[in-house]
Structure 1
Amino acid sequence: MTEHKAGIVSNLKKDQPALFGVHCFAHRLELACRDVVKSHPSYQELDKFLLDLYLFYHNSNLNRANLKEACLAAGSKVLLPTHVGGTRWLPHTLHALNNLWQIYPALVLHTSQVKQKGQSKEKLTCKSFVVFAHFVWDVVVQLAKLSLSLQSRTCSVADRLQATISVLKLDTEQPSPKLQRVFGQNELCGVKLKENVRRLADKRDDMAGVTDKLVKHLDTRFDVDDSIVAATIIANLSSWPDTL
């Protein structure tokens, strides 16, 4: 749409040279997130795990039926792993993580009974993996909120972006809300977690790395110092004086 040669903006500029094209802010956010996934091994590992888990149940009626039985046995909601990726990466990932932790005991129970999914059980009970996944869950929640606010007509991009970045940086200094469920704990929902001290330390470094890369890519995609982004603060009525 905003391509320099054949996009709508370039065609409109032929009639109105002064026209200025601005790439959709919500889409910029999605691209920044994908940049992080592509450049971070632990994030790629989690993304692949969620996709593999979805395909395992999506492609087999038997697996879905057995998971439903496991959900009933574990006393949890009957839910299925959902798809991640696509053009709406943030909502899909948030939905996938929400479902994952709601049926976590059932997933551990079922994957322990299926030979080819033994690796999935190992990940689900590996504390370093679970801790990192909860950290990503917190990050995605904040980014999803930002995405929704960017789609609001009254949104001040500069304010919302800086507020989100501040929260993300704070999450690296202290356990974020969802991360507190597993931080310093040896089990989750009655499932014992296997701890590898070295891997857990590495994941803590990974969490800081994700935040740093995310802030960097947000700066790049949004060009935070750009006068156009900064000018959006005028849309924030709370920043207006009481009297004009």
Structure 2
Amino acid sequence: MIEPLKSSDITQPSSTVTLNASTIAGHVAEYIEGKQLNAHQLVGIGTDGAAVMTEKNNGVVKKLQEFATTAIGIHCSAHRLQLASCQAANAVPFVKKFHTILRQLYDYYDNSAVRMAGLHAVQTALGEKVLKPIQPSSTRWLSIEMSTTRLKESYVSILVSLEREGEERGDVKAVGFFHLLSSYRFIATMLLLCDLLPHVSRLSKAFQAREFEYSQLKPLVTSTISTIQKMKSVDADNLQKLPQFITNLEKSDIVVKERADEKNI
């Protein structure tokens, strides 16, 4: 493992090392030389899309190509999928808002042992699994899949918990969360993402697998695109169950705010 911020000069503290293209390329070059590898046999350089890595005239890839002349710079496919997912999500205002709410809801419980204990007490009373919210990463948008799935699994208990926090403790923030989470639009978005994200995540994991048949990638990409396109005209499993999901909430005395304009996510 290469540590670009660690100085090779023992007299120079790590805090003074600048993480730029020259530093990164220099460490990689030292590693190749130290392992007695033939740089001319280096055929690919996989990176993210940061300018320090890919800048045409002075990036890490360009500097490594000065001695590894046959190497080709490759923008990591998993990272490109991540960027595409982020951009697609941010293009839909409420999906972007959904992510923000999810992150704030995690912080609401994670920052208070009392609230978390209250949530677990509600889950036990309702006969649900005792589960805690999962933090959605602020840099890896696809991590929202696990967070959204966990929210769906704990949805009723979280709403009951928020309602109790609002009524018994006068917690204004809990009241706000309750109204956001119990809206038709939020529920529909949650179920839609539970249908959509597992397919995108599976493709991302395939791109990152240590061992994967290259011949299987194209069919997987094609099938993922086809599945997502189909969702535009035919609701998938979770979204199909939206009416029943809301009916079950109403049976639990949870009123779903439904307005005509909320049905358009």
Assess same fold via TM > 0.5. yes
Q: Is 1:124 equivalent to 2:187 in the alignment?
A: no
State how 1:23-62 maps to structure 2 within 5 Å.
23-62=75-114
The structure-2 alpha-carbon separation of the partners of 1:104 and 1:163, relative to structure 1 and needing over 3 Å to count, comes to: same
The structure-2 alpha-carbon separation of the partners of 1:106 and 1:184, relative to structure 1 and needing over 3 Å to count, comes to: closer
Q: Which residue identity is paired with 2:120? A: K
Give how far 1:173 is off. Answer: 0.8
Report % sequence identity.
Answer: 23
Q: Which residue identity is paired with 1:106? A: S
Give deviations 1:31-63, integer Å, cap 9, x for gaps. Answer: 111112332211111001100100000101111
Q: 1:107 aligns with which of 150, 154, 158?
A: 158
Task: State the partner residue of 1:154.
Answer: 213
Residue aligned with 1:15, SS: coil
Q: 1:65 aligns with which of 117, 121, 131?
A: 117
Query: What TM-score do you get using the length of structure 1 for normalisation?
Result: 0.75
State how 1:169-208 maps to structure 2 within 5 Å.
169-183=229-243, 186-188=246-248, 190-191=251-252, 192=254, 193-200=256-263, 202-203=264-265
Give how far 1:185 is off. Answer: 5.4
Q: 2:191 aligns with which of 127, 134, 138?
A: 134
Instruction: Find the aligned partners of 1:99 and 1:16 in 2 and give their Cα distance.
Output: 46
Instruction: Find the aligned partners of 1:123 and 1:176 in 2 and give their Cα distance.
Output: 24
Task: State the partner residue of 1:237.
Answer: none
Greater Cα radius of gyration, structure 1 or 2: 2
Give how far 1:30 is off. Answer: 1.0
Instruction: Find the aligned partners of 2:83 and 2:213 in 1 and give their Cα distance.
Output: 23
Give how far 1:135 is off. Answer: 0.5
State how 1:162-173 maps to structure 2 within 5 Å.
162-173=222-233
Give how far 1:123 is off. Answer: 2.3
Contact in 1 for aligned 2:152/2:190 (Cα 8 Å): no
Query: What TM-score do you get using the length of structure 2 for normalisation?
Result: 0.70
Task: State the partner residue of 2:66.
Answer: 14
State how 1:82-97 maps to structure 2 within 5 Å.
82-90=134-142, 92-97=143-148
Task: State the partner residue of 2:36.
Answer: none
Residue aligned with 1:173, SS: coil
Q: Gaps spanning 5+ residues in structure 2: where?
A: 1-46, 48-52, 167-171
- The structure showing larger relative contact order (alpha-carbon pairs under 8 Å, at least 6 residues apart) is 1
Q: Which residue identity is paired with 2:159? A: V
Instruction: Find the aligned partners of 1:66 and 1:186 in 2 and give their Cα distance.
Output: 24
Residue aligned with 1:30, SS: helix
The structure-2 alpha-carbon separation of the partners of 1:147 and 1:60, relative to structure 1 and needing over 3 Å to count, comes to: same
The structure-2 alpha-carbon separation of the partners of 1:173 and 1:49, relative to structure 1 and needing over 3 Å to count, comes to: same
Contact in 2 for aligned 1:175/1:183 (Cα 8 Å): no
Q: Which residue identity is paired with 2:160? A: L
